[in-house]
Amino acid sequence: MNILEIKNLSTEYYRNKSVIYALRGVSLDIAEGETLAVVGESGCGKSTLAMSILRLIFPGQGKITSGEILYDGKNILTLDDNELRSLRGDGISIVFQDPFSSLNPVLTIKEQVTEAVSAHFPAMTKTASANNAAVALKEVMFDDVERILSSYPHQLSGGQRQRIALAAAIINRPRLLIADEPTTALDVTIQKEVMDLMDKLKKELSLTLLLITHNFLLAKQRSGRIAVMYAGKIVELNTTENIFTNPLHPYTKALIACVPKLLTSSEPRALTGQPPDLLSLCPGCSFYPRCPQAMDICRREAPGEYAVAGAKVRCFLYSHN
């Protein structure tokens, strides 16, 4: 059963008089209880996808121009303000990639974590909200709860701030958790602790996890399926096992070739070229200038989505399958 279905979603941003085509016809299903990773280089549209799901694209800066986002069969794009407010943090929660920016520097942790409860349960007493906050902090592995609740973000480490953001995200028991680059700016040891904690909470709270990351190894270790994004489109959607044993899209192959491999003498190969400028996209395949398998048709036309052995891939190499 799918908890979320995204159909032909397009999102634009505006800069001066120019249009940035951040998402271009994205379609994606997320089954209840799974962990799905969205990977790709910076600027490919991963975070815009997360912001679009929660309708956090602000008027004047950009807008969702087409598509549907179905949560339990109901289109998020048609919800009124009250319904949307109820959905955010209750049905779907998000952990942003930089907790130091997403946490308010002038409010205590207690004020910020309890705010998530008060917004959805305004009749709850302050004592009850504080108790819920304490429980959430214990769930994200804090022992000295009272000290943490009275602290400000700058008094905590990066790993602690990320766990605070996670506590605020799960406090109302959402069904779907979006983790947008949850290990950014954390050292390797703390990255593992944060991801182990997410896996633990996913199991204990029966969460569905949408993991957004540029770290292909992290996606390999933590997800069951991977959606590879490039220039605002999903160019390959496959099981994690198949992505690493039999990648289909040339971009997927290039990303995997960049990943360092332990216990082998082979060195990672850098992906040549730069991602395309979303202000001036070419009429054909966006990956054409960097693709070692490019054909003449790739320059003229954008490939459709082709089904290959249970996977989906946007590449003319599979147009006759």
What pLDDT is attached to residue 262? 59
Tell which residue, 23, 11, 38, has the closest CA to residue 209. Answer: 38
pLDDT tens string, the chain, 321 residues long: the values are 899 999 999 999 998 889 999 999 999 999 999 999 999 999 999 999 999 999 999 988 999 999 999 999 999 999 999 999 999 988 999 998 877 788 999 999 999 999 888 888 888 898 999 999 999 999 999 999 999 999 999 999 989 999 999 999 999 999 999 999 998 878 888 889 999 999 999 999 999 999 999 999 999 999 999 999 999 999 999 999 999 999 999 999 999 988 877 555 566 777 888 888 888 888 899 999 999 999 999 999 999 999 998 999 999 999 876
Beta-carbon-side half-sphere exposure of residue 5 (alpha carbons within 13 Å)? 9
Give me Rg for the CA atoms of the chain: 21
pTM for this model (two decimals):
0.93
- CA atoms of 99 and 107, how far apart (whole Å): 14
**Sign, Cα dihedral of 122, 146, 156, 199:** negative
Cβ-contact 91, 76 below 8 angstroms: no
- CA atoms of 122 and 116, how far apart (whole Å): 10
* Three-class DSSP category at 216: helix
151 burial level (CB within 10 Å; 0-12, 13-18, 19+): middle
Crossing angle of helices 158-170 and 126-139, rounded to 10° = 120
Bridge partner residues of 68 (DSSP): 7
* Three-class DSSP category at 151: coil
Cβ-contact 139, 201 below 8 angstroms: yes
For the chain, counts of helices (H) and of strands (E): 12, 12
Q: What is the DSSP secondary-structure string of 226-253?
A: EEEEETTEEEEEEEHHHHHHS--SHHHH
Cβ-contact 213, 183 below 8 angstroms: yes
Structure tokens belonging to residue 292: 């070692």
Domains of the chain as residue ranges with CATH: 30-61+81-91+177-318 (3.40.50.300), 101-171 (no CATH)
Cβ-contact 225, 209 below 8 angstroms: no
Cα distances (Å, whole numbers) of residue 286 to 154, 229, 231, 305: 42, 11, 7, 14
